[in-house]
Amino acid sequence: MVEVNWTLQSVEDINSIAEYIAKDSLKYAKLQVERIFARVEILETAPLSGRIVPELNITKIRELILGNYRIIYKVINKNRIDILTVHHSARLLSNSPAL
């Protein structure tokens, strides 16, 4: 089982997403946060299941797609991954402070 480490940036990203959605619906904000955490659970048993981030083309930096969001993570070693950022796909990845 791989340890999933949420970086400060990724937690801030999720909080920002939740705050934005909550302006219209607290229910859907909570649901979206739950979906993000549920999507990441696959990495505990299959850390290489995400695709390599095309803009970076670095084998250890991968992503899972969830609707309009890109959950970008780095494979640190066989026992740990770091979630780097949760990024809306409409925004340029180059604007992310995590990368």
pLDDT means per 10 residues, the chain with 99 residues, are 96 96 96 97 95 94 96 96 92 68
What pLDDT sits at residue 99?
Answer: 66
Single out the residue of 91, 99, 89, 97 nearest to residue 66, CA to CA.
89
Q: For residue 22, what are the β-bridge partners?
A: none
Single out the residue of 86, 84, 82 nearest to residue 21, CA to CA.
86
Residue whose tokens read 């250890």: 60
Task: Give the pTM.
Answer: 0.91
CATH code for the domain defined by 3-90: 3.30.2310.20
Residue whose tokens read 């904000």: 29
CB 22, CB 31: distance < 8 Å = no
